[in-house]
Amino acid sequence: MKDERRGPLSTTLAAADAGRPRYLLVWALVLALLCAGAALRVALGGASPIGSNVKSLLPDTANDPLLAAAGERSNEAFLQGMVIAVQGPAAGTTTAAAQAARSALAGAGYRIENPGTTANALYEVYRRHRFRLLTPSDAAAMTKQPEQTFITALQVGLAQPGSPAGTLADPGGFLTRWLTGLPRPFPDLVPAHGLLAVPEAAQPSYLLIVTLGQEAFSPAGEREARKAVALAENAVGRLCAACTVTATAPALFSAAERAEAKSEVLWLSIGSSLIIILLVLLFFRSLRPLPLVAAGVVGGIVFGAAVTLIVFGEVNLITLILGTTLIGISVDYALYYLVDRRLNGGGTLLRIAPGVALALSVTCIAFAFLAATPFAPLRQMAVFSIIGLIGAVFTVGAAFPVFSRRWGESTAPRIMHGAIRMASGGGRRWRAILAVLLVAGSIGGLTRLYAEDNLRQLQAMPPELVAASAKIASLLGTPPASGYFLVRGPDLATALERGHRLAESAAHHTPKLTLVGLAGFLPSPAAQHKALGAWTPLMNNGGAALEEALAQSGLPTAFAKPLIAGWPSHDEALTAQQLIDTLPALGRFTVHAGGETGLLVQIYGKPASGELQTLASGTSGVMYVNTLERLNAVFSHIRNQAILWVAIGYAVTLLLLGWRYGPVGGFVTLLSPLTAALVTLGILGWLGEPVNTFVVVALMLVAGVGADYALFLHEGGTHMASTSLAVMLAAACAIGSFGLLGASRIPALHEFGLTVAIGIAVAWLLAPLTLFAVKKRAT
């Protein structure tokens, strides 16, 4: 190519190829600016730069502020909770050990409620308003025949050994019956010794309910949770060697997940790096390319991470881990340069630029469509990948010529020539045969494919934590249903009224479920009024009618005295605020936002399919909110959206390739990655792996990388030998890196890695087969 035909880009490439350091300076300046910007963004945000809160992935609920506030409140309660179980063979030592654990935790500043004290405080509030608290049947009977009802109830209470209904504290047991009707999500637990005992457990067992001060998905929250477990274990261990401590908390899962992710990032990086080092050593017989390969990879990751941080304020763990797989792609560009440089000498950038530019464009197009999805990690991944790949190319273009300019020319190692023969030589026949076999074999697998989108795929679930969780669930007895009801109203009174209607509907239609919300602890004003009215005939005139009824029945009139003394001198209804003042935790059932009041109602029991939705739809102002289902639905939606966008991405890519290679050439070029995707799906079907959002994203990557290989080869021109070798080395690196990811214990990463590794292997196999149809446009 003559100088006078060069455009500005070619001139720039030629200048860069000459190893002028000014491009390296520009590269360093851009990198420094991006890093500074990211640091500033993190500092201003004040949060951890690495996020692991899966629920933060939910779509924005800004159009419904009350729902958003309820979700936030539900999250807080969920994320800051912790349950510790202390169990032992002997009652005495287990009790002492559990109390020691409680003291140790309280002494260290952890919030642990004394359930007995709380219950007593609440009981006192109810006792003060006892005349407003009657069960519906008691209220009806008292309204109809107050004297007769009271006397009969007292006679029954006196006849029942040990019943509060036969004591001065609650003559007739009216208050006790009302209290018995309160929501009891865990009826088998009793407060004992300042703890929660589980009398029906196989061995003496206590539960400690701890509220953590920090949110679970933060390093501080995780440390706090782990420290709590350690404190409890030490305290218990000192008093009872045979006792066991079991704990469960979102923070513990989060800690395990973070540790798992860190460990995986570490070994993935080490593994990928080792593969690259070995390949470089094997083929280049020199250590000189290694720093450049590392610079290309690290440059890409730093560019990607910095821009992601600037745009999003944090990098989600999933993004980060998937981002490390950029190693497998960005190394393509580095190897393409280095192999060409080694085999063909100077002027490398000019030679590889068309291939790299086309490949980068195709990959970026594929990732750009991810950015259109409403799923934060996918958007993050799109930004991370696009900028990371551009950064990797920038690094290759700016830094590689500078550091390789003194390498000079030398004979390529013999292994390179051997590999070239294998990569570009007469292997097309066996490639074609293998391709046909793979396509034929994959058809059966395609029929076995199934789709499954599940939040759990994002998380590593350490078996020991899952077992601990199950053990504590069995001690609690009642399984919590997934999700909650949100009862909304323009004010608290309306919301409570709707909450009561929901409770009535649930009692009628789903009697086996327990609903726990503020309305369950507070009778409606109408019910309170009715109860007070039912007592009034007995209590008017200083309780004369009550005393007379007792005297006539032969029962001691002393039973009237505590009731007469407690009869309210003025009309003071029991209010939500009184309950919340007594037990602030109840306040967490209410939220206010957007000019509305919402009540959160938790559900315990095993609802039948669709039962909760039906219950919610049957009551005005009530909605059933299931975060897990919403997340899974989001995943499914994203998968479908991703498939659509991938199709659009391919169409755009086809246009680009058609412009470059003609309609047939463009189509055939695209056929290679498409066939690779199809075969990969078939193999996944045979392996029993589900298709989900991550598999779809992986297939997008396969498409991008597969197209890269075909494009590199098409653009190889006179330097086809070096291109074929570069493609082979790049494929080996990618298969190695993604294959390692396929061994991840996080299901989503495992599926992602497996899909990409299989896809790239097939794409590499197929890429040379597309060469026959390509006729390039003049550059």
567-586 positions binding another protein, by CB under 8 A: 583, 585-586
Q: Which of 274, 267, 279 is nearest to 332 (CA)?
A: 279
| Region from 406-414, 488-496, 553-561, 639-647 binding another protein, contact rule CB under 8 A | 553-561
How many alpha carbons fall within 13 Å on the CB side of residue 454?
12
* Least separation in angstroms between CB 493 and another protein: 21
Task: Tell me the C-alpha distance between 331 and 358, whole Å.
Answer: 16
Q: Which lies closer to another protein via its Cβ, residue 512 or residue 776?
A: 512
Task: Tell me the C-alpha distance between 615 and 626, whole Å.
Answer: 14
Judged by CB under 8 A, the chain residues 592 through 621 that form the site for another protein are: 602, 604
| Phi and psi angles of residue 326, each rounded to the nearest 5 degrees, phi first | -55, -25
* Least separation in angstroms between CB 184 and another protein: 5
176 binds another protein (CB under 8 A): yes
* Least separation in angstroms between CB 744 and another protein: 17
Judged by CB under 8 A, the chain residues 490 through 519 that form the site for another protein are: 516
> Which H/E stretch holds residue 375?
none
The angle formed by the CA atoms of residues 204, 207 and 213, to the nearest 5 degrees, is 160
Q: Which of 728, 723, 673 is nearest to 703 (CA)?
A: 673
Which residues, at least 6 apart from 39, have a Cβ–Cβ distance to it below 8 Å?
A: none
Task: Tell me the C-alpha distance between 135 and 123, whole Å.
Answer: 16
480 binds another protein (CB under 8 A): yes
Judged by CB under 8 A, the chain residues 41 through 100 that form the site for another protein are: 74, 77-83, 91
| Phi and psi angles of residue 625, each rounded to the nearest 5 degrees, phi first | -115, 120
- 771 forms bridges with which residues in the sheet? none
Judged by CB under 8 A, the chain residues 627 through 666 that form the site for another protein are: 627-628
CB 721 within 8 A of CB 663: no
| Region from 15-23, 114-122, 489-497, 524-532 binding another protein, contact rule CB under 8 A | 114-122
Q: Which of 23, 110, 174, 253 binds another protein (CB under 8 A)?
A: 253
Judged by CB under 8 A, the chain residues 708 through 727 that form the site for another protein are: none
Q: Which of 469, 672, 722, 755 binds another protein (CB under 8 A)?
A: 469
| Region from 145-153, 303-311, 366-374, 664-672 binding another protein, contact rule CB under 8 A | 145-153
* Least separation in angstroms between CB 83 and another protein: 7
Q: Which of 168, 274, 507, 648 binds another protein (CB under 8 A)?
A: 168
CB 510 within 8 A of CB 613: no
* Least separation in angstroms between CB 104 and another protein: 19
| Phi and psi angles of residue 650, each rounded to the nearest 5 degrees, phi first | -65, -40
* Least separation in angstroms between CB 265 and another protein: 20
Judged by CB under 8 A, the chain residues 514 through 533 that form the site for another protein are: 516, 521
* Least separation in angstroms between CB 625 and another protein: 11
* Least separation in angstroms between CB 722 and another protein: 49
Task: Tell me the C-alpha distance between 418 and 145, whole Å.
Answer: 104
Q: Which of 102, 210, 259, 237 is nearest to 472 (CA)?
A: 210
Q: Which lies closer to another protein via its Cβ, residue 208 or residue 731?
A: 208
- 592 forms bridges with which residues in the sheet? 597
Task: Tell me the C-alpha distance between 336 and 426, whole Å.
Answer: 21
* Least separation in angstroms between CB 455 and another protein: 6
Q: Which lies closer to another protein via its Cβ, residue 41 or residue 588?
A: 588
| Phi and psi angles of residue 710, each rounded to the nearest 5 degrees, phi first | -60, -40
Q: Which of 131, 375, 589, 694 binds another protein (CB under 8 A)?
A: 589
Q: Which lies closer to another protein via its Cβ, residue 357 or residue 461?
A: 461
CB 257 within 8 A of CB 249: no
Q: Which of 234, 263, 482, 552 binds another protein (CB under 8 A)?
A: 482
* Least separation in angstroms between CB 535 and another protein: 19
Judge residue 97's burial from the number of C-beta atoms within 10 Å of its C-beta, 0-12 exposed, 13-18 middle, 19 or more buried: buried
Q: Which lies closer to another protein via its Cβ, residue 458 or residue 702?
A: 458
CB 476 within 8 A of CB 565: no
| Region from 64-72, 248-256, 333-341, 646-654 binding another protein, contact rule CB under 8 A | 248-256
144 binds another protein (CB under 8 A): no
119-to-183, 190, 194, 196 alpha-carbon distances in Å:
13, 11, 11, 12
* Least separation in angstroms between CB 210 and another protein: 8
Q: Which lies closer to another protein via its Cβ, residue 133 or residue 416?
A: 133
Three-class DSSP labels, 395-463:
HHHHHHHHHHCCCCCCCCCHHHHHHHHHHHCCCHHHHHHHHHHHHHHHHHHHHHCCECCCHHHHCCCCH
Q: Which of 42, 97, 189, 402 binds another protein (CB under 8 A)?
A: 189
544 binds another protein (CB under 8 A): no
Q: Which of 138, 257, 715, 751 binds another protein (CB under 8 A)?
A: 257
Assigned token pair, 348: 């490398």
| Phi and psi angles of residue 196, each rounded to the nearest 5 degrees, phi first | -105, 120
CB 505 within 8 A of CB 624: no
* Least separation in angstroms between CB 516 and another protein: 6
Judged by CB under 8 A, the chain residues 422 through 461 that form the site for another protein are: 455-456, 459, 461
118 binds another protein (CB under 8 A): yes
Q: Which of 128, 588, 592, 637 binds another protein (CB under 8 A)?
A: 588
156 binds another protein (CB under 8 A): yes
Judged by CB under 8 A, the chain residues 197 through 226 that form the site for another protein are: 197, 199-200, 209-211
Which residues, at least 6 apart from 229, have a Cβ–Cβ distance to it below 8 Å?
A: 84, 245, 247, 252
